[in-house]
Every structure is written in C-alpha cells, then in structure tokens.
Structure 1
Amino acid sequence: MSAQTELYKEKKKRHVICMASDFFYPNTGGVEEHIYNLSQCLIKRGHKVVVITHSYGKRIGIRYLTAGLKVYYLPIRVFYAQCVLPTMICNIPIIRYILIREQIEIVHGHSAFSVMAHEVSIIGKLLGLKTVFTDHSLFGFADTSAVLTNKYLQMCLCECDHCICVSHTGKENTVLRAKVKAYKVSVIPNAVDAYSFTPDPSQRDSNFITIVIVSRLVYRKGVDLMAAVIADMCPRYPNLRFIIGGDGPKMWLLQEVREQKGFQHCVTLLGSLKHSEVRNVLVKGDIFLNTSLTEAYCMAIVEAASCGLKVVSTRVGGIPEVLPESMIYLTEPKVGSVVEGIEQAMKDLKTNKILCPFECNKKVRDMYNWMDITRRTEIVYDKISLNKNKSLGLQLRSYTTCGVWPFLLVITLMYLLLQLTERIYKRKHIDIARDLKL
C-alpha cells in the first residue's frame, strides 16, 4: 500500500487552478469558507491557486491571504445580492488577461447564483482551459426564479468538464435541472475544521437547557418555523433559553415575537456574527436547532456536532446524509414535529442518553476532513486534465442542446471578442506572474 502511495506521489501533477465566484471574503458564508479552505489545502499539496471575485467596498485589486493565496478583486460593481450584472462580454479583456498572466489550467466556479463563476468558466473554456463547477444549493422547478436560474445554469454548464455536488440529493437535483450527464457529476461534501470547533462543556449553564441557532435569517432557512417553535415552547418550559446568531431580512419577525410575547429573558438575539465568533456561541448550548426548508448540505449542523451539541434539524434536501442517527434528531418542517424533536433531545439530555461531546468531535473529524476533501477534488482535476479539448465547432454545437438559440449568438460574440482582444493585446505581450514562494 505504501509503494502505491509513493507511486501516486511521483505521478501527481501540479495544477494551476482559478477559483471563481462572486462570493468570497470579506463576505462570510458557506461558499466563501469552502473556497478559502479548499484553496489553502490545495496550496499545501503543491498546487497553485488564485481566486477571482468582484470588489468589496474599498477592497479592489490584488490581495494576498494566508499561504500566499492570491485574490483578484475586480473593479466590477455589484448588481444584486452580491452578484455582478450578467453582461457576459464586458469583463472579457480583464478575465482573459488574468487567466493568461497566471497560466491557469483549470477554472473552478462555485455556486449556481454566481454570475462571475459562470462568466470566468465560459471565457476559460473558449481559451481552451478545463472547467469544473461546484453546486452548493438546491433549487425547485416551479417558481419563475427557479425556472430562469435552472435554464441559465443549463446554458452555462453545457461545456463544463465536470461538476461537483455536496450531497447525493444535490447531485440528483443538478442532473435534473441543469440536464448534466450523471457520469460528469461527483459528490464531494463540505468539511469542517474540527480542531477549531472543539467542545467546552464548562461554558454551559447547568440551570437551563440552551438551544443555539446560527443561521442567515432568510425565508429558506425556516425563520417563520423557528419563530413559531419559540412561541410554542418558551411559555411551557421556563428553564429553556434560546441564543440566536445571524442577521437577515427576517430578523424583524424574531424581534416581534420576542417583544410581543415578553420573551426578552429567554431569547437572546446576537445579530451578525463573524465566523471566528461562531464556536464561542455554540459551546454555550446543549442543543442546536436548524429549521431550513431547503438545504443541499448544512455546514452549521456539522460545526455544532463538532462542538458536541445535540442537533435537531428538519429532514430536507441533503441533511439526512450529513450526520449519523446517533448525532441528530430529524423532524418534518412542521411546528409540531420540530417541537417533538426538541423535547426528545431534552429528555435524552436529562437521562444522559447522549454521546460524549469529545467523542462527537472525533467522529466529525474523521468524517469531514479538509485534506480528504482536497484529495478527492484532486482526482477530479487529474481526470479532466487527461480529456482532449473539443474543436470550436463541436463546442458551439453543444450550446444548441440547451434549447436557447440566442445564447449561441452570445457565445459566438464572446469568441469573436476574445479574438479581437488577442489582436489588440497579444498574448506574448502579457507578463507572466511569478509564483510567490514563502
């Protein structure tokens, strides 16, 4: 076995990867953390990684993060929900310049919502690069927003070399809505730094049962359900305390319930939290509550389990795949069912029918390790790097399969603009960036 490992190390190819997304630091969230941690681990394993995103306030230009991770904050203004306007053609010169300057081989886009990820991937494909896309979310098929997003995703993934989903449910969803071939989709979950999210039982208040919620306060996170559960349980259980971290457009609902019902003593609203502050909030709790209505993979419940909390969560999307039954109570997204799940967790806490917090941390560390996720992603990179590029004619023909013929005209225009840019600013005149050696 060791001989095979040594042989793999000898054959391991160094990749030059561009992570592209509208969502990156200083913004915080699951996608941002995923890109950052995956990039750090890829750099540790000898690969070169750069990140392309849009500007955040005064953060414009090139910045270096830990381990020499280079980030290009492009001077592009945000259009809606941290995403840039999908012009498809306006950013061609600067994206082409970066891809050539950094000698990129693989473009890895993240999030179906991200316009930047799709634009960089399509431009990279027209330049002959390999492309990978990671889908972090689940979408429906009925409402107008989902239909438009799904069609846009289908158009953009026509020529993608490989897709990655964070759960098997997410894979099924992506295959159906984006019409991607199933053999071109791999399931690689998110991970958590279990050494940063360690238990500390001494922080818990033995006089109360504390339920912690850390979430963006938006509709799809089930804030309405969360408010109804709080309104139902607080009057019946005087020793129950809720600590809620996070902010969003649904914050007003929790504030309203808290004020109208007089729950100031048992409901604490912390507002927006930095990711570095989350662990200090989690260790104060006995139970972690997640009321999401849709979720491909929930990082919050993994972080909570790593801190030794008993998790109560709605049974939606890919959540049943994330944690073993001994670490989670799954409920239906209904008030009565969620209340029953919390009551069962409270009963088990009183009778001590729970796993040791440090044992939970060890299990999470074994299940979701960033270096393991990185090795699995490397296999995808190695696989697509062996594929031969299609001719331009075959590439353009692939875009006709999405059923939106005007999009073929857009792709053709993008290709012509790339050729024009090559005439104006030739490849040989672009200075190649030196690798930063720490």
Structure 2
Amino acid sequence: MARKTYNIAMVSDFFFPQPGGVESHIYQLSSKLIDRGHKVIIITHAHDDRKGVRYLNNGLKVYHVPFLVIYRQATFPTVFSFFPILRNICIRERIEIVHGHGSLSSLCHEGILHARTMGLRTVFTDHSLFGFADAASILTNKLLKFILSDVDHSICVSHTCKENTVLRASLDPLMVSVIPNAVVGENFRPRDYPAPSEQGAGFRAEPSPRLLGPDDMITIVVISRLFYNKGTDLLTAAIPRILENHPNTRFIIAGSGPKAIDLEQMIETNVLQDRVEMLGPIRHEDVRDVMTRGHIYLHPSLTEAFGTVIVEAASCGLYVVCTQVGGIPEVLPSHMTTFAKPEEDDIVAATGKAITAMRAGKIRTEKFHDEVKKMYSWSNVAMRTERVYDGICGTISEEEFYGFDTSGYNNGSRIRDFALIDRLKRYYGCGIWAGKLFCLCVVVDYLFFLFLEWWFPRENIDICPDWPRKPPAKDKAQDSMKIAMSRSTSSVRGPKLDR
C-alpha cells in the first residue's frame, strides 16, 4: 500500500537568509519531505529585499510576509492580522497540516492558533530551552501553554528539550516525540576528505591521522551568535587565559551579535590581534571552510536544546569542547567531546586538557566524519516526522502510532477535536484568569474566521498549481524497519523517538 502524502506549511519567523540551527532544520526537513512525495511550503517574514514568493531548490516555495521585526528576527505579535494572509495561503496551496517551529516565533504561534480555527491539523517543534523564574520565561511559558493546549502533537529535538517543554506547557508526555536535528554529511567533510563527485564506485575513505608536534599551531574555532545565552561572556574571559597557558594556540571566531564589541575590546586590551581572528557573520555554506581550518571546536553555551553546530564540527573532524548543559550531552559520544561546567575556570581547564591530548596524539579525529554520518541523517528525521503526520491525521491507528492501546489511557483518544466547545474546554484549563482570556481570544478568532469566509469566499481564491511531485515509495515495511532500527541505534543516550 502506497504511503499517503500531505500538503504541509512550515511556519516560523526563523528562516533563510538569516543563519541558524532552526533555519537549517526547517530547510533540510522540508527538502527531505518533498523528496518523499509531500508538498511543502514555508511561511516566514520578509527579510530586507526578500518579499512575496520565492522558490528554492527542489521546488520549495517560500512566502515572505511583510510583518514588522522587533527583536532577534521575531515579528511583532499581532494575534489576528496574520489570519487573512494565512487563510489565503492555506486555501491557495490546499494545506492540510500547519507545522510551526520555535517558542519565540510569533508567526508560529499565531499560525497554529488560526490553523486550528480553520480545521487544519497542527504540529509544533520546540528547538529551545527556557527557565521558569524570570519574567520573560514566565510570559513565554504561559503563551506556549496557550498554543500547545490545542496542538495535535509536539516534537522536541532532545530528551532534555522534551522534559523542559512538557513542564513549561503542562503537556501530556505522550503527546511529545523526540526527533533530533541532523547534518548533511557531504557538506561537512574534513579538510582532506574527497567530495562525493570525486568518489568512484567502491570508494572507501581511508583518512590519515592529523598528528601534531609540540610546536605546531593548534587552532580553536568558535562559530556562534554572539549573545549572552551562547556563553560569549565566558568566551571573552577564557580566551586570554587559554592563550597564555598554551603559546602555540590561536582562535578563529565567526558570528555576530551584541557581545561582539566585548570580544573586540578584549582583543585590544590584551593585544591578541595576531592570535584571535574575528570573521564576523558568515553564510551557512561557508561554515565548513572555516571549521576545516581548526583542530578544536569550543562551544561555551549556557543553554542549548541540541547544538547542531557541534555535530557539524565533529563531522568536519574537529574535537569538541562544550559545556555540559541542556541536551548537549545527548548529541555526541564521549570520545568526540570534553565537557565543562558553564564556568570560566572549567572551560579553561577543559580546553587545556583537549589541547594537551591532541598534542600527545591521544585524540584521533580522522574517523569522526564517517561516525557522524551514520548517527545523523535528514532522511531519517523526515521519515520519523512523516510518521507523526500519519498519527495525527489518522492514517495509522493510535495503537500503532503510540505503541500501545490508548483507549484506557487518560480518557482515551489522543486526537484533538475541532469542535469549538471542546477547544474552549482545553483553553479554559490554562489558568484562573489566563484561561478566560485565552477562551475569549479563541472565540474572537472563530468569529473573525466566519467573517473572512463571508467577506472573501473560498471559491474566489485561485488554487495554485502544484510543483511536480516525486512519486511516494510503496514499500512501507522498509520505512517501519528503519524507524525500529533508529530507535535502538541512532541515540547516544536512549531512543530518540521516545514518547
């Protein structure tokens, strides 16, 4: 029996041309879903001269909505003004599933709310970790609880991220899956690793070890947004001490942000211009070229749900020194990493330990690339995400989706009902005052939807012709076998499709 294909809209403020892990995740996942026969479009905000509709590789269509950006590429939350545009796009493209990305994306939250009002299935992917005590986190968590109270299913990129999201949004853990990020191995090859076009039939890479002498220069690479939560303050304090303790060492730092001025002042104060190279912002396609100039990748982040960049670094043959926070310990096996506490002294000590070990030849990075390629694959991520779509659309039974009979579990069926009264019951439980406010918002959204249906009838909206689709695979048993194998082999710390 052939697999069912879906029309999917990925909605988020975070997408190309701005760089980042969420942006790369959305693009790669969308491309692989298209390869599997689905129709995928992306809805994001306008970016400089990118407005209207753009086409990317593989027929991926991007709608750039002209909304005001207020902070870190997130648009100003308007709640209802996005609805007419989203409705028009969803009708034109015959969308069946709206998939939102990012806890801080206003377009994502509004898109999920309006999609539920329109009777569309919804999925949310969380890529971040948040606290519970500060004012910003409290507000974000309350809004997340509002949106996820009526979402069909949620996806997190690590087990730590799942625990965090379940607590923040008071979710049923069964309604949250863990599906990791991945990397395109061919795009992150070590320096001497042949490109795919240079690999003939029967090719097998035999990487040569990168042995370092006591006087050879070791280059430490840092590629990150230069914000507080990425540990830029720790990096600024640690660099002079690391360079003082290890003379034949230098840094290459790529990225931009408000903390860049602190790094520049540190370089000026300590006269380190010849040992610290600041590249500024770089394009995602240039990341590999920067990484292959180094030997060690330093990642001093204070919070991280997954950390795709450390997988990219390991794939490029770099040894990784990173803070032991969030979902980072789940990402790579221990022989590829040295962990440090998010403290200046510990980062200096861990980096020094890695430098000494590399000079002594105790760390062999030449096989990292092949190991990472086996662990992370976007095709596998797309296949498992498709299974989530099958589960929420009823293509597969709930028992098959969740792995057991749900009839006696927490009031039976997990599939969300679109009836307004059932939706209001779910929102009403979000808090004494917040629940009433959320119910009012949903009622207004529903009335607005009825107005749009009358003012702009569906039959007056032109239907867009579809980009030619690839025929879906007919062998579903092979996909099921791959999913079963990924549950037992693709995780460093337990199964990644844990519910």
TM-score, with structure 1 as normaliser: 0.95
* 2:338 alignment partner in structure 1: 329
> Which residue does 2:327 correspond to in 1?
318
Please tell me whether the aligned partners of residues 204 and 285 of structure 1 are also in contact (alpha carbons under 8 angstroms): no
CA deviation profile, 1:154-184 (whole Å, cap 9, x unmatched): 1111100000000000000000011111000
| One-letter identity of the residue aligned with 1:301 | I
CA deviation digits over 1:203-256, x for unaligned, max 9?
999720111111110000111111111121212221011111111100111111
Does the aligned pair in 1 maintain the 2:417–2:423 contact within 8 Å?
no
Matching residue of 1:361: 369
- Alignment check: 8 A CA contact 2:100 2:124 kept: yes
Amino acid at match of 2:422: L
Partner of 1:399: 427
1:435 aligns with 2:466: yes
User: 158, 163, 170: which is aligned to 1:172?
Assistant: 163
Residue 284 (structure 1) aligned with residue 293 (structure 2): yes
- Give the deviation of 1:81 after TM superposition: 2.5
Summarize deviations over 1:285-336 as a string: whole Å, max 9, x none.
Answer: 1110000000001011100000011100000000000000010001111122
* CA RMSD in angstroms, aligned pairs only: 1.5
1:162 maps to amino acid: H
The reply to whether residue 373 of structure 1 matches residue 381 of structure 2 is yes
Do 1:18 and 1:104's aligned partners in 2 also have CA atoms closer than 8 Å?
A: yes
Post-superposition offset of 1:34: 0.5
- Structure 2 Cα separation of the partners of residues 229 and 84 of structure 1: 35
Residues 99 and 416 of structure 1, relative CA distance in 2, 3 Å threshold: same
Change in CA separation of 1:197 and 1:106 when aligned onto 2, cut-off 3 Å: same
Contact residue 321 and residue 338 of structure 2 kept, 8 A: yes
Aligned partners of 2:416 and 2:236: how far apart in 1? 54
Q: 2:457 aligns with which of 410, 415, 426?
A: 426
How much has 1:347 moved relative to structure 2?
1.9
Rounded to whole Å, the distance in 2 between the matches of 1:197 and 1:369 is 13
SS of 2:264's partner is helix
Return the offset for 1:63. 0.8
Q: How does 1:220-299 map to 2 (within 5 A)?
A: 220-299=229-308
Q: Which structure has more RCO (C-alpha within 8 Å, separation ≥ 6)? A: 2
SS of 2:94 mapped into structure 1: coil
- Supply the distance in 2 between the matched residues of 1:216 and 1:322 (Cα, whole angstroms): 20
1:28 to 13, 19, 29: 19
Separation of aligned partners in 2, 1:134 and 1:355: 35
Question: Could you tell me how far 1:87 is from its partner in structure 2?
Answer: 1.6
CA distance in 2, matches of 1:434, 1:201: 45
Q: What residue number does 1:17 align with?
A: 8
Cα deviation 1:107-134 (Å, max 9, x = unaligned): 0000000000111111111111100000
CA deviation after TM superposition for structure 1 residue 355, in Å: 2.6
Q: Tell me, yes or no, if structure 1 residue 390 matches structure 2 residue 397.
A: no
**SS of 1:326 mapped into structure 2:** helix
Q: Could you tell me whether the CA contact under 8 Å between 2:223 and 2:255 is conserved in 1?
A: yes
Alpha-carbon distance, 1:272 to partner: 0.7
Q: Which residue does the alignment assign to 1:219?
A: 228
Letter matched to residue 417 of structure 2: N
Secondary structure at the counterpart of residue 10 of structure 2: strand
Tell me, in whole angstroms, the C-alpha distance in 2 between the residues paired with 1:153 and 1:204: 49
Instruction: Please say if residues 135 and 163 of structure 1, whose CA atoms lie closer than 8 Å, have aligned partners that are also in contact.
Output: yes
- DSSP-derived class of the 1:265 partner: coil
Query: Could you tell me how far 1:437 is from its partner in structure 2?
Result: 2.2
Conservation of the 8 A alpha-carbon contact between 1:15 and 1:105 = yes
Aligned to 2:189: 198
Which residue number corresponds to residue 446 of structure 2?
Answer: 415
Contiguous gaps of at least 5 residues in structure 2? 194-209, 395-414, 470-499
Whole-Å separation in 2 of the counterparts to 1:272 and 1:76 = 24
Q: Using a 3 Å threshold, how does the CA distance of structure 1 residues 252 and 48 change in structure 2: closer, same or farther?
A: same
| Structure 1, 309-318 or 341-350: larger mean CA deviation | 341-350
Moved more, 75-84 or 390-399: 75-84
2: distance between equivalents of 1:347 and 1:139?
A: 35
Give the 3-state SS of the residue equivalent to 2:245 in structure 1.
coil
How far apart, CA to CA, are the structure 2 residues paired with 1:363 and 1:123? 42
User: Greater shift after overlay, 427-436 or 169-178?
Assistant: 427-436
Does the 8 Å contact 1:243/1:269 carry over to 2?
yes
Would the aligned equivalents of 1:204 and 1:286 in 2 still touch at CA under 8 Å?
no
One-letter amino acid of the structure 1 residue matched with residue 418 of structure 2: K
Question: Alignment partner of 2:100: what SS?
Answer: strand
TM-score (ref. length: structure 2): 0.84
Q: How many percent identity over aligned positions?
A: 47
Q: 1:205, 1:284 within 8 Å by CA — same for their partners in 2?
A: no
Q: Distance in 1 between matches of 2:72 and 2:339?
A: 31
Matched, 1:309 2:318: yes
Letter in 2 for 1:428: E
1:11 deviation in Å?
3.7
Unaligned segments of structure 1, at least 5 residues: 1-9
